[in-house]
């Protein structure tokens, strides 16, 4: 016996009040009244679940348009022409000046039986799931370019666990260099343990492969720890895009509590630390950290972007600082040359 039958029995057979029954079964009194009325009018059939489909749908494709789509499909088939959804959309555009979306035409043809399902043609790449199965199976690292309220150009480094999407570390600097990346990775690994692999793009701060020889500090650290290092195409939404998306809460000054917490088995006796917050660190590099990065002589610095005259006050302290390059830090030339200028610490007023 289902819930509707129990409610009706309690009211009509046991003689209990509708309010009492509603409180006992955790439903509204209005719903108890509706069930009793349906049972009295239709019997047991009135207690069966009913469709919630709306009586009308203003955005539904008109029946006349559906029939015309089917007619065009049959006409193209008889003539031996290509009769796909895009072709039908072209003919509708020629006739009426407008057409439904190609996906809508395809859905109508599928409902009418004109499309034969062929799941074997599905690309093998569509079966790939861009997520790690276990914590610490794969980390992601990426740099996002941003400008503060006083038009100061900064870079935000995010380290993300690809399983729980938990932000392991988020730090900001004027310009990141390879030792900075390596230092932040070591700090996160000391707190959460070494990952099995790391995924980044092919920026010069992450790998020396683009220069044809040598390795950066991060590659040396990963090699010593037996950590697999993988690279993805820049701005690839299924891979590098997650690190960029994780920057959105920190751009608004939100703490890491807005993100999904790590799983219970991530690390035993784990306690949050200041290294895992996603708030900006306006103090910049510390005294024991290098603030400059040498530029190869064969690379010329990128031209500075135009800037407006800084206002007096806190923003005037950063007026003499050359701005960072445009957001293209994934290429070797721009990333390496962007650090030619000194990288002073960000002022606390930013």
Q: How far apart are the C-alpha atoms of 327 and 292, rounded to whole Å?
A: 20
Q: What is the mean pLDDT of residues 8-13?
A: 93
Over residues 197-251, the pLDDT tens digits come to 999 988 888 988 777 778 899 999 999 999 999 887 666 655 565 555 555 554 4
Main-chain phi, psi angles of 197, to 5 degrees: -155, 160
Q: How far apart are the C-alpha atoms of 63 and 59, rounded to whole Å?
A: 12
pLDDT value of position 270: 33
**173 or 264, higher pLDDT:** 173
**How many CB atoms lie under 10 A from the CB of residue 262?**
21
Average pLDDT, the chain: 75
Over residues 31-63, the pLDDT tens digits come to 999 999 999 999 988 999 888 888 888 888 999
**How many CB atoms lie under 10 A from the CB of residue 248?**
12
Output the six-digit token pair for 99. Answer: 């057409």
Which of 30, 286, 22 has its CA nearest to residue 171?
286
**123 or 158, higher pLDDT:** 158
pLDDT value of position 313: 43
Over residues 293-319, the pLDDT tens digits come to 343 444 343 343 444 444 444 444 444
Q: How far apart are the C-alpha atoms of 129 and 238, rounded to whole Å?
A: 9
Output the six-digit token pair for 241. Answer: 């895009």
% of residues, the chain, pLDDT over 90 = 46
Which pLDDT band holds residue 325 (cuts at 50, 70, 90)?
Answer: very low
Q: Degrees (nearest 5) of the Cα angle 275, 232, 203? A: 65
Which pLDDT band holds residue 276 (cuts at 50, 70, 90)?
Answer: very low
Name the E strands within the chain: 139-147, 153-161, 167-173, 197-200, 228-231
Whether 276 and 168 have beta carbons less than 8 Å apart is answered as: yes
Instruction: Tell whether pTM > 0.75.
Output: no
Output the six-digit token pair for 115. Answer: 């499309």
Which of 258, 213, 235 has its CA nearest to residue 331?
235
């Amino acid at each position: 016996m289902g819930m509707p039958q129990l409610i009706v029995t309690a009211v009509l057979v046991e003689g209990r009040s509708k309010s009492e029954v509603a409180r006992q079964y955790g439903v509204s009194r209005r719903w108890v009244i509706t069930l009793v009325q349906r049972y009295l009018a239709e019997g047991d059939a009135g207690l069966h679940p009913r469709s919630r489909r709306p009586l009308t749908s203003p955005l539904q494709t008109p029946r006349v348009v559906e029939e015309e789509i089917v007619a065009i499909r049959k006409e193209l088939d008889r003539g031996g022409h290509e009769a796909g959804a895009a072709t039908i959309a072209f003919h509708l555009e020629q006739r009426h000046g407008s057409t439904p979306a190609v996906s809508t035409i395809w859905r109508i043809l599928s409902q009418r039986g004109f499309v034969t399902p062929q799941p074997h043609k599905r690309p093998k790449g569509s079966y790939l799931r861009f997520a790690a199965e276990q914590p610490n199976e794969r980390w992601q690292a990426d740099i996002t370019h941003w400008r503060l309220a006083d038009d100061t150009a900064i870079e935000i480094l995010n380290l993300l666990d690809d399983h729980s999407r938990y932000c392991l570390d988020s730090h900001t600097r004027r310009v990141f260099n390879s030792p900075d990346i390596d230092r932040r990775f070591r700090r996160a690994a000391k707190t959460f343990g070494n990952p099995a692999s790391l995924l980044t793009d092919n920026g010069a701060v992450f790998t020396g492969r683009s220069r044809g020889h040598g390795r950066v500090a991060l590659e040396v650290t990963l090699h010593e720890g037996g950590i697999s290092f993988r690279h993805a195409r820049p701005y690839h939404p299924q891979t590098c895009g997650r690190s960029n998306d994780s920057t959105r809460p920190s751009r608004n000054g939100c703490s890491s509590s807005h993100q999904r917490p790590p799983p219970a088995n991530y690390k035993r006796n784990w306690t949050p630390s200041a290294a895992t917050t996603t708030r900006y660190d306006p103090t910049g590099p510390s005294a024991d950290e290098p603030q400059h990065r040498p530029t190869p002589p064969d690379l010329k610095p990128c031209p500075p972007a135009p800037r407006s005259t800084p206002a007096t006050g806190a923003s005037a302290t950063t007026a003499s600082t050359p701005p960072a390059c445009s957001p293209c830090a994934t290429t070797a030339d721009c990333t390496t040359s962007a650090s030619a200028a000194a990288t002073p610490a960000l002022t606390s007023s930013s």
